Copies of this chain bind each other. A is one copy, B any other.
Amino acid sequence: MKISELSRRSGVPIGTIKYYLREGLLPPGTHTARNQAEYPESTLHRLRLTRALIAVGGLSIAATGNVLRAIDEPVTLFKSLGMAHCALPPPFPTEAHEDVEEEFNAEAHALVEAAGWTIVGNTPGIASLAAGQKALSRLGIKWTAKDLLPYAKLAHAAARLDLDQTAGIENRIDMAERAIVQTVLLEPILATLRRLAQEHEAARRYAPAGQAVDLEGSE
């Protein structure tokens, strides 16, 4: 298809598509005539994915390029997921990772061990966890591995659901793509669900008597 059809079917403006092509986020088309190129159906698919990572996942152009390369690498899913996690911006701003004392790193490792997780390679997750624990500690919330373990167990249950979703996918690239889409796009969905559940729980526990809150059947 031509670039105009790519644009029409994806809803992404032609100028933006040209920008993605220049940045190497999309494979170049086949030149059919002077200033004319033809793109296969797979480019439309890749364009939609690129758009979602940037506009919904909030990734930068550079991070998106790294994540797409991780998907295309001819490695196993667990390796490609690890590469994608390294390419993703960490959940905390860079500033939060500075000057994190060794005690918080030790707590992060203790939590991973208590959760029974085998973490291979240089995952950025441990440093993020340590940064988060330091931030809480500075506000007087000293959470040890033991305090965070119930949350780790819930996160593990979520990860099992994630991996179950990709289990039936035959093609390795499709599987890696699906796994990464789920990591990036489900993160804000899960955060939203937790906020909604907090509102429900807070209303259930603390709504003043007489306030018109229907709690029947909520538990």
State the A residues within 8 Å of B (CB).
48-49, 52, 55-56, 58, 76-78, 81-82, 85, 88, 90-93, 95-96, 112, 115-120, 123, 125-126, 128-129, 131-133, 135-136, 138-139, 141, 148, 150-152, 154-163, 167, 178-179, 181, 183, 185-208, 213-215, 217-219
Contacts and interface: CB of A to CB of B under 8 A. Distances in A.
A181 B132 CA distance: 12
A179 B162 contact: no
- Number of this chain's copies in the assembly equals 2
Contact of A189 (B132, B138, B193): B132
B197 A152 contact: yes
A186 to B, nearest CB: 7
B135 A218 contact: no
A1 to B, nearest CB: 18
Nearest to A135: B56
Contacts of A219: 116
For the residues of A in contact with B, the DSSP-based class is: helix
A157 B205 CA distance: 15
B196 A119 contact: yes
Nearest to A91: B188
Nearest to A75: B208
Contacts of A58: 92-93
B155 A193 contact: yes
Contact of A157 (B92, B125, B154): B154
- The 8 A-B pairs with the shortest beta carbon distances in the complex, nearest first, are A91-B188, A159-B197, A155-B193, A78-B202, A117-B200, A132-B189, A56-B135, A125-B196
B93 A152 contact: no
Contacts of A201: 156, 159-160, 162-163
B151 A204 contact: no
